[in-house]
Amino acid sequence: MTQPVAASGPLPLGRGRAAAWVWRAGWVAAAALPLIFLGIFFAWPVSSLVARGFSSEAGSGLSAVTEVLSAPRTWRIVRDTLTLATLGTLASVLLGLPAAYLLYVVRFPGRGALRAFVTIPFVLPTVVVGVAFVALLGPRGPLAFLGWQESLPAIVAALVFFNFSVVVRTVGGLWGRLDPRAVQAARALGASPARAFRTVTLPALGPAIASAATLVFLFCASAFGIVLVLGGVRWSTIETEIWYQTTQLLDLPAAAALSITQLVIVALALMLTSWTGARQERALRLRGDASGEHAWAWRRDGFASVVTGIVVATLLVLPLATLVVRSLRNRTGWTLEHYRALGTSVGRSLPVPVWVAIRNSLVVALQATVIALVVGVLVSLVVSRRPRDPLARSGLRVLDAVYMLPLGVSAVTVGFGFLITLNRPPLDLRSSMILVPIAQALVALPLVVRSILPVLRAIDPRQREVAATLGAPPWRVLASVDGPFLLRGLGLAAGFAMATSLGEFGATTFLTRLDRPTLPVVIFRLIGRPGEATFGAALAASVVLATLTALVVLLAERLRPAVASDL
């Protein structure tokens, strides 16, 4: 009647086992490809950079690190970097909090448009932001009377312009979803609005504020384009100093030593970020379902409205408007001559006409986007797996950490690292023009992973299980369950990658060839030269670059496929 256990019937297992092995090998390859990419284009340049910093110059007996660290100039620059980053972070957070409240908790007509507008600065190229503030504060600018050219307030204002939206989105996103009943309970227990805010709302927002602040600090501490354009000779950060030592003084060991210093600062900020990030995830789970939004009321929302209005008008609208207006004017009045100059090499200031640089930028950005997407999608897919095997699971955790390493490395370090490693045998890529898109892809990679990975991680693992129990083999589970979510993140990731790459300046400026410049490089070159014509062309080129970048991001938002559910 029955079979003994041992005599299990024959099954067509041969093919199934082979398929399982092919499948597993595919995943190993998917994990290995990004590893190899990061090994060659990240680990190698950065480690040889570190080695260069610690190796001693012939005869001196001192390594570059000790030499650089004993120079008073270095400490002034480190101090300036930290001062700028701290002031930029403080100002961004203080000004961003009222806006986060207004844009995510209060309902009023035009809120969506205002939210979108506030987001724009974040995706604008740093060089464009720098030029906009020069146009505003520099000679013959509307605010020239302040005398803020090449000054601390100018740089801090530009840093806030950039990072305001980081605070607004990170904190606002949480604020809008806080359960209002906690505050209502506090008020019912007799707390004044101020006390309810201090004792209930602020602690709930704390992790989000901390996380936004560390992120902003990271961005500010590695600001390059803004400081290079706005800082003049008086203000420099570690990033601009690396550039200065490399390209102007040709002191590579000193630059390497500075890069190590920067790596340490960034690593500390990153550790803080991941720590606050973990805390925020914990806090987010506590959110209530009830919407905390309410309609606008002057008594309650007047202060936030006024502060946000002033910030948006003076810090966001004014520089951009000045940029656009001044690109359309000369001494006599309105003109398109600056835009016409983009068809030329602007009185021999440039090796190529500006439009060629525009074309270069687009081509390079497309290449960089493809590279970043391929690597980023593989990383996201691999890291979002949840293997049963404990060994595979711990291996995955290590991979996760390794893949995230480039997150903290500044673009300048990447560019400089490429410069000293990849332009000589065994890998001489300097002349192949592929280094620029690769470096840009590396800079864009964290953004790509950050757009795709959370979407994949949000998939309930039982979705895959249910697909398998309905007879779907692993490849069909991947295509039908992960696929739609992947597509959803892909449009946004592509937009971010393309926008980052279009505006990328820090790495590109080390790697671009004189005869094949990208648009940001050309803008920087133009702004650095005297003369009304070159300045006008720089303004016009900045407007073009800003428009391109904004268009790409808008398009990506549109491309995001509409889905039935918002998980």
Partner 1 sequence: MRPVDSVRPPGGLTPTGPATGLRVRDLSVRFGSTAAVADVDLDVGAGGIVALLGASGSGKSSLLRGIAGLEPPTHGTVFWDGVDLSATPVHQRGFGVMFQDGQLFPHRDVGGNIAYGIAHLPAAQRAMRVRELLALVGLPAYERRAITSLSGGQAQRVALARSLAPAPRLLLLDEPLSALDRELRERLAVLLRDTLRATGTTALYVTHDQDEAFTVADRIAVLAAGRLVRVDTPEELWRDPGTREVAAFLGYGPFLEASVASALGWPPPGIPQDALVAIGPGGLVVDLAGPLVPVGGQTPRRGVVEVSVTLPGGHPAVLSATERVPDAVLPVRLEPARCAVVAAAAPTSSDPGAGSEQTARPAAGAGWRT
Q: How far is the CB of 7 from partner 1 (least distance, A)?
A: 8
Q: Considering the rule CB under 8 A, would residue 474 count as an interface residue with partner 1?
A: yes
Q: Considering the rule CB under 8 A, would residue 559 count as an interface residue with partner 1?
A: no
Q: Which amino acid is at 42?
A: F
Q: 507: Cβ–Cβ under 8 A, 6 or more apart, which residues?
A: 411, 412, 414, 415, 418, 436, 439, 440, 442, 443
Q: How far is the CB of 447 from partner 1 (least distance, A)?
A: 25
Q: Are 520 and 487 in contact (CB under 8 A)?
A: no
Tokens linked to 530: 């005297």
Place of tokens 């256990």: 5
State how far the Cα of 193 lies from the Cα of 186, in Å rounded to an integer.
Answer: 9
Q: How far is the CB of 394 from partner 1 (least distance, A)?
A: 13
Segment near partner 1 (CB under 8 A); pick from 7-15, 124-132, 200-208, 513-521: 7-15
Segment near partner 1 (CB under 8 A); pick from 8-16, 242-250, 393-401, 521-529: 8-16
Segment near partner 1 (CB under 8 A); pick from 42-50, 92-100, 367-375, 557-565: 557-565
Query: Considering only residues 191, 252, 272, 472, which one is a binding residue for partner 1 as defined by CB under 8 A?
Result: 472
Q: How far is the CB of 444 from partner 1 (least distance, A)?
A: 27
Give the x/- contact pattern for partner 1 in 119-158, rule: CB under 8 A. Answer: ----------------------------------------
Query: Considering only residues 251, 252, 463, 529, which one is a binding residue for partner 1 as defined by CB under 8 A?
Result: 463
Please say which residue, 79 or 386, places its beta carbon nearer to partner 1.
386
Please say which residue, 173 or 484, places its beta carbon nearer to partner 1.
484
Query: Considering only residues 26, 473, 528, 531, which one is a binding residue for partner 1 as defined by CB under 8 A?
Result: 473
Query: Considering only residues 128, 283, 411, 467, which one is a binding residue for partner 1 as defined by CB under 8 A?
Result: 467
DSSP letters for 322-386? HHHHHHTB-SSSB-SHHHHGGGTTTTTTSSS-HHHHHHHHHHHHHHHHHHHHHHHHHHHHHHT--
Q: Considering the rule CB under 8 A, would residue 470 count as an interface residue with partner 1?
A: yes
State how far the Cα of 243 lies from the Cα of 228, in Å rounded to an integer.
Answer: 9
State how far the Cα of 199 lies from the Cα of 186, in Å rounded to an integer.
Answer: 9
Place of tokens 């039935």: 564
Q: Residues in contact with partner 1, total (CB under 8 A)?
A: 34
Please say which residue, 4 or 190, places its beta carbon nearer to partner 1.
4
Q: Considering the rule CB under 8 A, would residue 22 count as an interface residue with partner 1?
A: no
Q: Considering the rule CB under 8 A, would residue 565 count as an interface residue with partner 1?
A: yes
Place of tokens 């001559």: 337
Q: Considering the rule CB under 8 A, would residue 391 count as an interface residue with partner 1?
A: no
Query: Considering only residues 428, 465, 532, 557, which one is a binding residue for partner 1 as defined by CB under 8 A?
Result: 465
Q: Considering the rule CB under 8 A, would residue 481 count as an interface residue with partner 1?
A: yes
Please say which residue, 248 or 565, places its beta carbon nearer to partner 1.
565
DSSP letters for 402-463? HHHGGGGS-HHHHHHHHHHHTEETTEE-GGGT-HHHHHHHHHHHHHHHHHHHHHHHTS-HHH
Give the x/- contact pattern for partner 1 in 483-522, rule: CB under 8 A. Answer: -x--------------------------------------
State how far the Cα of 224 lies from the Cα of 231, in Å rounded to an integer.
Answer: 10
Q: Considering the rule CB under 8 A, would residue 431 count as an interface residue with partner 1?
A: no
Residues in a beta bridge with 428: 423
Please say which residue, 5 or 233, places its beta carbon nearer to partner 1.
5
Three-state DSSP at 106 gives strand
Please say which residue, 290 or 479, places its beta carbon nearer to partner 1.
479
Please say which residue, 335 or 480, places its beta carbon nearer to partner 1.
480
Q: Considering the rule CB under 8 A, would residue 471 count as an interface residue with partner 1?
A: yes
Angle between helices 519-527 and 532-559 (to 10 degrees): 150
Q: Which amino acid is at 351?
A: P
Helices (H) and strands (E) counted in the chain, each on its own, are: 26, 4
Q: Is 151 exposed, middle or buried (0-12, 13-18, 19+ CB in 10 A)?
A: middle
Q: Considering the rule CB under 8 A, would residue 392 count as an interface residue with partner 1?
A: no
Q: How far is the CB of 486 from partner 1 (least distance, A)?
A: 11
Q: Which helix (H) or strand (E) holds 79?
A: helix 72-104
Q: Are 154 and 148 in contact (CB under 8 A)?
A: yes
Tell me which residues touch partner 1 (CB under 8 A). 1-5, 8-9, 11, 13, 16-17, 20, 388, 460, 462-463, 465-474, 477, 480-481, 484, 563-565, 567
